[in-house]
Amino acid sequence: MDLVGKAKRVRIYFSEGDRIGRASAAASVVEFLRKENALGATVSRGVEGFGAAGKLHVSNLADIAQDLPIIVEWVDFPEPVTRLLPRILKMVPRSLVTADDTEIVLYEPHPVRDLPKALSAGDVMSRPVFSVTKDTPVRSLVEALLGKTHRTVPVVDEGVPVGIVTNGDLVRRGGLGVRLDLLRALDKPEIHAILERLAQGNKVASDVMTPGPVTVRVTTPLPSVAEIMAHRRLKRLPVVDDHGALVGMVSRVDLLRTAASGSQRSEDSPPHLGLARDSPLSELMRRDFPVVHRDTPLTEVFQAIISTRLHRALVVDADRRVVGLITDAELIDRLTPSLRPSALHSLMHRLPFAHLAPADQAAESHARARRAEDLMTTDVPTAPEDALLHTAIATMLEGSHKVLAVVDGERRLVGVVDRADLLRGLVAAEEG
């Protein structure tokens, strides 16, 4: 399988004698990346160089006890880099760390990747965990979430989870009025106005949280974690230690990433996260996903998007081949600012966007984005209907996609799978 696309390249510069604990600093970073299922990392030894201290490190035969430059180069997709790099920065001793954009044009991994015999929540969870206390103001909570990729926050009392705040909690009980992913698409003045309104409400985390959150222990096997998530329709779970204290968070993406990395294994290895039976997408896909055409007008695009919990619609051509994708967040981002209040009201309350005030009607008539073609993005992953589950998971995770279009032999759309569908597929394979 080829993995191609936009990526990040991280370089970490050490001296050969640098240590993290008792181990080599470079070896410690590489082992950390391997355990976190990073795409790959390489360690290179330099022959000569100097750093901020001005000391020259040279390789020569007369000096056997060398302290040469060491470079760890890690290439991965943006989401893993965003997630893992802050943890690496806390690990490393004195060093130089750089990150830049790159592009993967070819990546053909070996078919078998070594994995532990049994994995638990503690092996794949993310840490440190962003959490809040019961008296954290809702405005502060929302401001913090605007800079993060996830939208679920545990509420702790003396380190023990006592509640969870989700996107839905903030909308229904917090007075947010708009989902966080839509909020990020607004301009700064619009965001500031919403935050000011939250501040005036004087609500705190305990006012909006869902009490008694579902948690898993560090030692909970991953198949059990997957089953809990799939059956309860949860995206993230707090991970606790034997004393009930919060130590990490495990997400649906963590499970899918681990399943994809461990799916191609030798025949004598044990089933890993339910991939004992690698199902084809034709058994998992849904056929009721909304579609529109290039020339579908704005009002009908809204109707299509609000008809599904996934908040998005595919754009197809006359032969039903996929040409684009429209999400509600991208729709808001591309709309004329004067139309955004009406658009947000339509999306949040699942109401038609047809009944506009006179001023909005005038703005809509002059807006550039009036058809599906004006609103869509063309970055849409596809997979054939006979593709296996592990392949679909890898394809979806390549670009942090939320949905995968399933096509027939003529590349015509026949169905769609999302992350929840793939996780249910893993659990079904395990139960089978």
pLDDT tens digits along 251-261: 998 888 887 76
Closest by Cα among 20, 29, 36, 14 to 83: 36
Sheet containing strand 41-45, edge to edge, reads: 41-45, 69-76, 5-15, 96-104
pLDDT band at 264 (very low <50, low <70, confident <90, very high): very low
Q: What is the pLDDT of residue 365?
A: 45
* Range of weakest confidence among 105-114, 198-207, 232-241: 105-114
Closest by Cα among 17, 229, 47 to 125: 229
pLDDT band at 369 (very low <50, low <70, confident <90, very high): low
pLDDT at 270 over 60: no
Tokens of 349: 């309350």
Tokens of 67: 């302290």
Domains of the chain in start order, with CATH, are: 5-104 (3.30.70.120), 121-262 (3.10.580.10), 282-431 (3.10.580.10)
pTM for the structure as a whole: 0.65
Q: What is the pLDDT of residue 353?
A: 60
Query: In angstroms, what CA-CA distances link 165 with 145, 174, 192, 282?
Result: 11, 10, 21, 35
Is 205 in contact with 155 (CB distance < 8 Å)? yes
Alpha-carbon distance of 100 to 88, in angstroms, equals: 16
pLDDT at 81 over 80: yes
CA 340 from chain centre, in angstroms, equals: 26
Alpha-carbon distance of 271 to 40, in angstroms, equals: 24
Average pLDDT score over the chain: 80
Buried b (16+ CB within 10 A) or exposed e, 172-181: eebbbebbbe
Partners of 9 in the β-ladder = 75, 100
Higher pLDDT, 132 or 57: 132
* pLDDT tens sequence across 331-347: 776 665 666 666 666 66
**Percentage of the chain modeled with pLDDT above 90:** 28
* pLDDT tens sequence across 380-427: 999 999 998 888 888 888 777 889 999 999 999 999 999 999 888 888
